[in-house]
Amino acid sequence: MREEGIGYDMSGKIIETENVTVSFDGFKAINNLNFSMDVGELRVVIGPNGAGKTTFLDVITGKVQPTQGRVLFKGRNLRRLSEHQIALLGIGRKFQTPRVYLNLTVRENLQIACNRQKNVFSALFGRPSSAERNTVKGLLETIGLTIKADLAAALLSHGEKQRLEIGMLVAQSPDLLLVDEPVAGLTDEETENIGNLLLALAESHSILVIEHDMEFVRQIARKVTVLHEGSVLYEGSIEEVQNEPRVIEVYLGEPLENQQKIA
Ligand SMILES: Nc1ncnc2c1ncn2[C@@H]1O[C@H](COP(=O)(O)OP(=O)(O)OP(=O)(O)O)[C@@H](O)[C@H]1O
C-alpha cells in the first residue's frame, strides 16, 4: 500500500480538473470542466449518452491530453505525462469489459497483478513470498472468490470476472481507482455484490465510478456529479440529483428511475 498522506496537496484533493477542455476537431467533448474530489471520497459520475464521461476518464489517465486547462492528481499537474507514468503515480482504471487472463486461475491472475514489475513467467513460477501469499489471500477474501481461487478465470460468471478485475486493480495499490460502468449487464445479485465490494474498498481508497444503473448509484453514492455536454451540470446527493429540474430535463424529462437505458 502507498503511504497515506504523503504527497497530498494541502487542499486534500485527490483529483482536480481546472477549466479542462478536450476538443476533437473543434467539437468540445469536455467543455471547461471544473471538478474536484477529496482524498478518500467515493464519487459517482452520471450523465446522458455523449455527456463526456469516458473522455473525462481518458483525460485523467493521460489517454487524451486536454486542449486547455489542467488536471491535478494530489496537487501534481499531469500535463505531458504518459498513461504509463500516470498509472505509476497511483491512478488505476478498470474498463467496462473485464480484462483478465481467462486461461489462468483466479489466484494466478491476482499474483500477476501483484507483480506487475516482474514478468508473467516469474510471477507464476517464481516462489511467492509469504507477504505476497497473504496479499493474494486478503484480495481473494475481499472480492469474495476464495472458494474459486483455483478455477480458471474462464469459468467465472461475468460478475465474478468483474470482481476479479477489481481485485487485480487493487493489487497494484492505486491511490485513485477509476471504475467505468462496473455493473453493466449484471444480475441484481451481482450488482449488489459489486456495490458492497466498492463500499468496502472505499474505506481505504479514493474511488470514482461512472455508472448508469440508478439502483446501483443509490446503493453506493454519497455524492453524485452529473455531466452534461462536457461540463458539470449539478452535484449533490442522489436525492437532490433526482429532484433537480435541470437534471430531469437533460434526461429527456423522464424520472431518473426510468433512465437506465437512456443514460
Ligand atoms: N476520439 C473522438 N473523436 C471525435 N469525437 C469524439 C471522440 N471521442 C469522443 N467523442 C465525442 O465526444 C462526446 C463525448 O463522448 P464520451 O464517450 O466521452 O461520452 P460518454 O458520456 O462516455 O457517452 P456514453 O454514455 O455513450 O458512453 C461524444 O459526442 C463523442 O461522439
Domain boundary pick from 157, 172, 187: 172
Q: What grid cell was written down for 131?
A: 507477504
Q: What grid cell was written down for 90?
A: 497511483
- For residues 80 and 165, membership in a common domain is answered with no
Domain boundary pick from 172, 202, 217: 172
What is the number of the ligand 1 atom nearest to the C-alpha of 64? 1
Q: Rounded CA gap, 107 and 140, in Å? A: 8
Q: Percentage of the chain surpassing pLDDT 90? A: 70
Ligand 1 mean position to 101 CA, how many Å?
Answer: 28
- For residues 65 and 190, membership in a common domain is answered with yes
- For residues 140 and 22, membership in a common domain is answered with no
169-195 per-position pLDDT tens digit: 999 889 999 999 999 889 999 999 999
64-102 per-position pLDDT tens digit: 999 999 999 999 999 989 999 999 999 999 877 778 999
- For residues 75 and 138, membership in a common domain is answered with no
With a 6 Å cutoff on the Cβ, whether 24 touches ligand 1 is yes
Sign of CA dihedral 235, 239, 244, 247: positive
Smallest CA separation from ligand 1 atom 12, residue? 29
With a 6 Å cutoff on the Cβ, whether 48 touches ligand 1 is no
- For residues 104 and 154, membership in a common domain is answered with yes
**Burial letters 169-193, b for 16+ CB under 10 A, else e:** bbbbebbbbbbbbbbbebeeebbbb
With a 6 Å cutoff on the Cβ, whether 81 touches ligand 1 is no
Its domain, for residue 149, covers: 99-172
Assign residue 199 the CATH number of its domain.
Answer: 3.40.50.300
121-149 per-position pLDDT tens digit: 555 566 677 778 889 999 999 999 999 99
- For residues 157 and 35, membership in a common domain is answered with no
Ligand 1 mean position to 190 CA, how many Å?
Answer: 28
- For residues 80 and 195, membership in a common domain is answered with yes
Domain boundary pick from 172, 197, 230: 172
With a 6 Å cutoff on the Cβ, whether 96 touches ligand 1 is no
Q: Which of 54, 67, 227, 262 to mutate to test the pocket of ligand 1 (most atoms within 8 A of CB)?
A: 54
Q: Rounded CA gap, 32 and 7, in Å? A: 27
With a 6 Å cutoff on the Cβ, whether 21 touches ligand 1 is no
- For residues 167 and 183, membership in a common domain is answered with no
- For residues 85 and 5, membership in a common domain is answered with yes
- Cα 196 to chain centroid distance, Å, stands at 15
Asked if residues 59 and 22 have their Cβ atoms less than 8 Å apart, the reply is yes
Exposure on the CB side of residue 147, measured as CA atoms within 13 A = 1
- For residues 84 and 11, membership in a common domain is answered with yes
Q: Which of 17, 22, 45, 53 to mutate to test the pocket of ligand 1 (most atoms within 8 A of CB)?
A: 53
Quick one: the chain helix, strand, coil %, rounded to 5?
40, 25, 35
- For residues 109 and 77, membership in a common domain is answered with no
- Per the DSSP assignment, residues forming a β-bridge with 71 are 17
Number of compact structural domains in the chain: 2
What average pLDDT is seen over the chain? 88
The ipTM estimated for the assembled molecules is 0.95
Asked if residues 30 and 52 have their Cβ atoms less than 8 Å apart, the reply is yes
DSSP state, residue 261? T
- For residues 68 and 196, membership in a common domain is answered with yes
Beta sheet of 68-73, edge-to-edge order = 27-38, 13-24, 68-73, 76-77
